[in-house]
Amino acid sequence: MKYALAFLALLPAAASGETQYWDYKDWRIIVDTVDTGEDLRVTCRAMTGGDGLRSLAIEVSNGDTLPPDHYPAPVLHESAPRGYDTVMQDGQRVLFQFSLDDLTEGFVTAGLNDEGIKVATARAHEGDSLWMLQTMRTGDMLSVTLEGELVYRASLSGFTAAYGKIAEQCGFPTTGVIE
């Protein structure tokens, strides 16, 4: 019996986790903390939209390269009901637009997820992340268009508080975006 207990002690422990939520006006924060047994992994996500519809999100992990070395990119997420296509198709060009003069382009990546559901994401060029975050802090709305048609309009009400919360929870400075 003592050999069986010694053997069980050598098996890896299951990762344990905790999820926390906050809301700031039109933005929701989800923080997942997982103790892998080797380290504590924290994933922070600020998002608006969702609930089965498209959503705009910023996601970081305490294992990522974080600001001020690398700023997270806002990403538009879409999924389709089983058997249907997403509106956004792989390789298409989208525009992220705050006003007529404040815009940048991005591209769509689309495919199937692990459950066989069609999904698509649109993100701006990586070099535009800091500019987008700064503009989101001061703007009211962000529109994403595909071939001149509106695909998504995100309210930016509560974005600054949401960004501050993910910075606090994942341990990076808000310098350059808020301060």
| pTM above threshold 0.95 | no
The span from the CA of 120 to the CA of 66, in Å, is 25
**Per-residue pLDDT tens over the stretch 101-157:** 999 999 999 999 999 999 999 999 989 999 999 999 999 999 999 999 999 999 999
Q: How many helices (H) and strands (E) does the chain have?
A: 3, 10
Contacts of residue 16, defined as CB under 8 A and 6 or more positions apart, other chains included, come to: 34, 35
Report the pLDDT averaged over residues 38-60.
94
Residue 111, token pair as written in the block:
């495919």
Do 164 and 178 touch, CB atoms closer than 8 A?
A: yes
**Per-residue pLDDT tens over the stretch 2-36:** 444 444 344 444 567 899 999 999 999 999 999 98
3-state DSSP call for residue 104?
A: strand
Compute how many other C-beta atoms are within 10 angstroms of the C-beta atom of residue 167: 20
Do 75 and 57 touch, CB atoms closer than 8 A?
A: yes
Q: Write down the pLDDT at residue 6.
A: 44
The span from the CA of 174 to the CA of 179, in Å, is 6
Domains and CATH numbers, the chain: 15-169 (2.60.40.1880)
The span from the CA of 122 to the CA of 116, in Å, is 19
3-state DSSP call for residue 139?
A: coil
Report how far apart, in Å, the C-alpha atoms of 97 and of each of 70, 127, 134 are: 22, 16, 13
**Per-residue pLDDT tens over the stretch 68-80:** 999 999 999 999 9
